[in-house]
Amino acid sequence: MPKVSIIGAGGVVFPLTLIRDILSFAALRGSTITLMDIDAARLQHTHTGARALIERFDLPTQLVATTDRRAALAGADYVIVCFQVGGLAAYQLDVEIPRRYGIDQCVGDTLGPGGVMRGLRSIPVLLSIAQDMQELCPNALLIQYANPMAMNSWALNTTGIRNVGLCHSVQGTSQLLARRVGVPYEQVSFRSAGINHQAWFIEFRHGDEDLYPRIREVMAQRYGRAPSHAAADNGDHSQPKGDSLYEGGSERVRTAIMRTFGYFHTESSHHASEYVPYFRKNPELVREYIPERWDYFELCLAHEPPNYEKMLAQGLTPSHEYGAFIIDSMETGTARVIYGNVENRGLITNLPAGCCVEVACLVDSNGVQPTVVGDLPPQLAALNRACIAVQERAVHAAIHGDRAAVYQAIALDPLTAALLTLDQIHSMTDELLAAEAQWLPALR
């Protein structure tokens, strides 16, 4: 039976979701699950919930909790990373300092000043984990859930450790599009490719039918009205069943991107508005494109303690997260297709070699095997490359302790460049580096 080690297991909800997912598969119920976090109190919360789940269903799972990372890694077959270096204290700085300069990040964990800073904090820790893995579990697969996904995975690809970065954007958005066109999800097929949080549905079909004409029509009718007419828009913008404010409740941003560039992409309109220079130039424009604010930092602050009874009532049904499906496929040989963040070794031929791309991957007993896409439509690759430029400089800065590359990464960010002068970018970056110095020892 495999040993699965979860690093950063003190999270409020996500680690318990991953544990329930693992235990949903009969072949994995005899596993040893090791929970590791540097915060013993938060770790105990997760341990309590996981123990309740194991006891409720009378499972043979071995559960271990430790604050010793090397002990958690020793002999592991799968290592799942889901931490946030610096926690909410660092996250608050990521969003509040740029906001004083006029850069409003409703999430701030992927690109922009917030994404760069989070990457600078996370990458050295990930490299340290990879170094320990080379000694303690060299054949293990590292399943990487921490943001900024593309930057973190890019850095890990330099270590030689087997790894895959996982997100749920493809699953969530494909389900949204199926609902919008009224086709049962199990009857659609699609191809998605690009970079994390900015991958593109390059095909979306129902049997032989290309669903894109219907997608474009439905989304344009609902969200395609010109922003200048937003105040007079009396159309039905009620939230359809199954949609949330985060994804589906308001999709004017992604619809506008699709209108110009031809394709729908995988991350929510809130998130998507942070990666391009078009939608967040001033508060009025933000309100026109995103009528109701969704703020991830505020949601994190408001998190309530885990509801173990609610978790138990959900039973042993897997979520749409890919992690447990990968482990089950590798253990049983069951072939599945997932979307993973992997090194671009000729997979998307008009994106830079070595960057991190998100593509379909076959998973079975041979592991995670990425598939070749070829060229993306050129306009989509161009949008991706603008983000990849930021990622490359941030990864370089984190690996080499290159302070100049930090300024370059933030200056290359499309939204930051649209709003600030180079002098302002330097001042903001100075503030961020000074405020977060305790988590950035290589950049002090």
Active site residues: 168
Distances (CA, A) of 110 to 150, 174, 238, 247, 361: 8, 21, 29, 17, 22
For 217, the token pair is 């029509």
Contacts 24+ apart (CB under 8 A), 310-317: 311/16, 311/20, 311/49, 311/52, 311/53, 312/52, 312/53, 312/56, 314/20, 316/20, 316/23, 316/24, 316/57, 317/20, 317/24
For 24, the token pair is 């949903």
DSSP tag of 265: B
Q: What angle do CA 393, 396, 399 make, to 5 degrees?
A: 150
What whole-number distance in Å separates Cα of residue 359 and Cα of residue 342?
8
Whether a cis peptide bond, with omega within 30° of 0, leads into 414 is no
145: CB partners within 8 A, 6+ apart: 14, 80, 81, 82, 165, 166, 167, 323
Q: Scanning the structure block, which residue is given the tokens 């593509």?
A: 359
Residues pairing with 336 in the sheet: 363
Are 112 and 429 spatial neighbours (Cβ–Cβ below 8 Å)? no
What whole-number distance in Å separates Cα of residue 353 and Cα of residue 347?
9
For 223, the token pair is 């969200």
